Structure 1
């Protein structure tokens, strides 16, 4: 596709089985052309059907698609002998020369190997979808007439993209780089306090595209399973989302409070787990993620305002959080398929279910109660609570925890 062939608004098809890689490709593309008409699918058969129904200006497909694979998809596209040739970016885990030689006769516009080079992919997309010097800006769609805040939030619950970023992603990646590449331990230290990054990496590490085995339940485990390249791509991809940051000061203040509460719960959870010889990092992770829904809701409230909606006072924000915060968190954890054991541990932060409690669940419940205490409140009632008694944690231990 040459400059004179560039469409006013391109239609692009992304075919990628892994939901997190698919979302990453979508974010990179929309960062180049926010106005693109974009279709996404998870298997080659659906991609063939879409190609038969619509005229695309670019196809991005993974070789390892189920059903009809990406190479078969490319072969089908080339057999149609379209003029000009339809640009087709083939992505693959295969970097061996035999695989490259197999693909070359079908003339892919680009053959990119995973983990993707984000800068290289961005440059390819700019060359294919933008005229020289062209910039595209997109306005946020206005709200539908008569839309109320409560209807908007109800509809966004199953579509919310998660919490705003609370870590400086670019700085975190920069600090984690050394002459040999990205140091995963340094990266963990840089982003371990960010709920959105932690949740997304854990979810991505448990996706079907990754190796099967025991469920990943901590940030360190997720980084190890994903590897440095994919971890960095996913983190940088989060920064491309429109909802990545809270620019509204009042909503930002709410986010700071929920983040602080999450961090305190996480730290108490880790300290208590260490005292009782339990899984420290798993408890830390559960504490960090327990307010993910509230943070995601704040992002949706900012979307509401940016689309022209009104927030008359902060009491309305509080009402929205009280009504929807927990539901947003539950929907995210389910949709992202976080491990059931981790979800149960997060749920224990709020309340203990019936029956027998695990010691880790008791730890998280006690940690949350401790984190919610005001500085002026004493510890006597908490020390006499059922949770503390079951754990055999008394007033002296609680006092040391609070001071620590």
Structure 2
């Protein structure tokens, strides 16, 4: 069992609960998003997490963001991978903040609902789900935009910097697509090898700091958790979270120990989950205040927001053993990329994918032969079997 210790704690506004936390990948900086429905604004706060402390650096409001179904959601937000630069979607503009103060905004595409910097910071990837699903690549210096193949929800960067994971979602099935940076105009170069997930509504893919695991939180119908090994994409865990409360959407963080995933709960506890051993330990909160958001800092601390308005920085003991470095991350990324290839720029994406569900590999020929599926099979496979049967009946 890992020991947690409170390094710092502060109170935010209790009526403006933080429902998303985003930590800078390399610097001791964190940002939080709260939604003020009455004022029709979202509040962005930025904190300094250096030296085991928490100090607020900035607070500013941006326009409310909405899902395609008219529900409120946190605005798109992204840290630059190297610089202390935060970018937040604010209506038709991308607001930018640095410790020295705001810098000139960039134009935002209409309906911008996802935002990410490329691992080298030279491109700003944006995606929209407002009407026509589109994505674009922006030049961070000028805001000049060029179109790119669609992706949605968010982008998780592998610690090697050689690839990223993102989603292409649909009600029938969602693909977790892997991509190299550095395509034409700075776009992603999406790869053939992919994961298939049931239905849609998943959160941003989350790589562990050593790059050996990938976690996905979803979906639109069930509070589920999926963990896959990387680069094999072997399914390590699939579970539905307990139906005992309103689970926060942004409640996952990998800690400094390899294979340990932390989960924030509506009951206030943090669950320490060893994803390979499938062993879990619950760390309770004295006040039983529900977790509203969870993230890990660049130093491996846990940053926890709760419904009582508190923000807590927790140090995570590794039991005397040094945190597992990402020594093989580059080799793992190279092995994955060597076994796949770029998706052609034209044609439907899923027509070019060779994908796995973590247990079985699927290609076009194998899928065309599926005509039977049980109610226990994922929805996407049941739909495929139904379509194949219907096609066979028409051609008989």
Larger Rg: 1
Give the TM-score normalised by the residue count of structure 2: 0.26
Higher strand proportion (structure 1 or 2): 2
Give the TM-score normalised by the residue count of structure 1: 0.25
Higher helix proportion (structure 1 or 2): 1
